[in-house]
Amino acid sequence: MAQPRILILGAPGAGKGTQSANIVEEFDVEHVTTGDALRANKDMDISDMDTEYDTPREYMDQGELVPDEVVNAIVDEALTQADGFVLDGYPRNLEQAEELEEMTDLDVVLMLDVGEEELVHRLTGRRLDPETGEIYHVEYNPPEDEEVEERLVQRDDDDEETVRERLRVYHENTEPVVEYYEEEGTLERVDGEQTPDEVWEDVKATIEDAA
């Protein structure tokens, strides 16, 4: 399998971004992530799409899903341009899963399993270095450099109230997507509560086995 087509599923905070970065480096594929694409276009005018709000920002800041029409277009465009990819943050509901099936075939579907309280702890403690894009955690992975520590910021939607809402939305909308791939027999579960290196060992082995 030269250029694998990989889907990575898991709740917010399960480690999809971290493991996707490893996958990109090891397997030389594109990282297609709707969360980053939307954050870079938070104020894009979507008023012609007959949606409740006029930009993605209102949905994202409340932890709600951005309308399918917007997200499907982003993914369709990105997948058309990629040979191999790791898709992260999509599909978030069954309608998106059905859209994806029309767009492409998948070689591997991974699911990172992490318990609820661990997810809340990871997300509310997550910090971002706005200069390098590096992700830290106040407790698990604080920066050594004091200057870096002082400039760290929190993602707008990582406050506890929004985190709880994002997890509620995940359970309601995205867990059926996990069941969909489970019933299809393609889902490969990985224990996401191990150390990042241990998770990566399992992720890498799972992708290689699917080759």
- Part of the chain binding ligand AMP (CB under 6 A), chosen from 57-65, 144-152, 177-185, 191-199: 57-65
* Nearest approach, Cβ of residue 9 and ligand AMP (Å): 11
Binding residue for ligand AMP, selected from 38, 119, 167, 178, defined by CB under 6 A? 38
Active site residue 164: no
Catalytic, 16? Answer yes
Under the criterion CB under 6 A, does residue 34 sit at the interface with ligand AMP? yes
- Residue among 5, 122, 126, 127 flagged as catalytic: 126
Q: Are strands 85-88 and 135-137 parallel, antiparallel or unpaired?
A: unpaired
Closest to 109 measured CA to CA, from 208, 1, 206: 206
Binding flag, residue 20, ligand AMP (CB under 6 A): no
4 lies in the site for ligand AMP, by CB under 6 A? no
Q: Are 96 and 34 in contact (CB under 8 A)?
A: no
* Residue 124: strand, helix, or coil: helix
Residue 182: other Cβ atoms inside 10 A? 13
Q: Which whole-number Å values give the CA distances from 208 to 1, 6, 27, 133, 202, in the listed order?
A: 9, 11, 10, 29, 10
Q: Which is nearer to ligand AMP, 44 or 210 (CB)?
A: 44
Active-site option among 5, 92, 122, 127:
92
| Number of residues binding to ligand AMP, judged by CB under 6 A | 17
- Return the residues of window 147-166 that contact ligand AMP according to CB under 6 A: 157, 166
Should residue 60 be labelled a site residue for ligand AMP when binding is judged by CB under 6 A? yes
Share of the chain residues as helix, strand and coil, in percent rounded to the nearest 5: 50, 15, 35
- Structural tokens at position 80: 């058309």
User: Are the CB atoms for 188 and 111 separated by under 8 Å?
Assistant: yes
Instruction: Give the residue with the Cβ less far from ligand AMP, 34 or 124.
Output: 34
Q: Are 81 and 37 in contact (CB under 8 A)?
A: no
- 89: contact with ligand AMP by CB under 6 A: yes
Binding site for ligand AMP (CB under 6 A): 12, 34-35, 38, 59-60, 63-66, 71, 89-90, 92, 96, 157, 166
Write out the catalytic residue numbers: 16, 92, 126, 155, 166
